[in-house]
């Protein structure tokens, strides 16, 4: 409930925009919608955060994780490039 009380402090247009976005299916949100909601995640209820959790992830978290072998391969390639430049 506390989260919704915070929302009432926002301008009416902002509240309406949040409610308009939250009425959509998360998979149908545009990038501007996602950016808008991410910037105002503190005004969402616990239930809204749960429903929209996949889009509320930070951009770093939404990037695919590299495997250990891929990370090691990149380190070896960088090391080879550094050695080539120093030679």
Per-residue pLDDT of the chain (87 residues; tens, 9 = 90+): 555 568 888 999 999 999 999 999 999 999 999 999 999 999 999 999 999 999 998 654 444 555 666 666 777 777 777 777 776
Distance, in Å, from the CA atom of 14 to the CA atom of 21, rounded to the nearest integer, reads 11
Joined together, the tokens standing for residue 13 give 């247009």
At 63, phi and psi to the nearest 5?
Answer: -75, 140
* Domain boundaries of the chain, sorted by first residue: 2-86
User: Could you count the other beta carbons within 10 Å of the beta carbon of residue 40?
Assistant: 17
Residue ranges in 1-87 assigned as alpha helix (H): 2-7, 12-22, 31-39, 46-51, 53-56, 59-62, 68-86
């Amino acid at each position: 409930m506390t989260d919704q009380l915070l929302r009432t402090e926002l301008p009416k247009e902002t509240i309406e925009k949040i409610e308009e976005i939250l009425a959509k299916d998360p998979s149908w949100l545009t990038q501007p919608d996602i950016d808008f909601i991410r910037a105002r995640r503190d005004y969402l209820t616990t239930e809204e955060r749960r429903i929209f959790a996949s889009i509320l992830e930070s951009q770093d978290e939404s990037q695919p994780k590299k495997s250990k072998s891929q990370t090691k391969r990149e380190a070896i390639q960088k090391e080879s490039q550094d050695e080539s430049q120093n030679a």
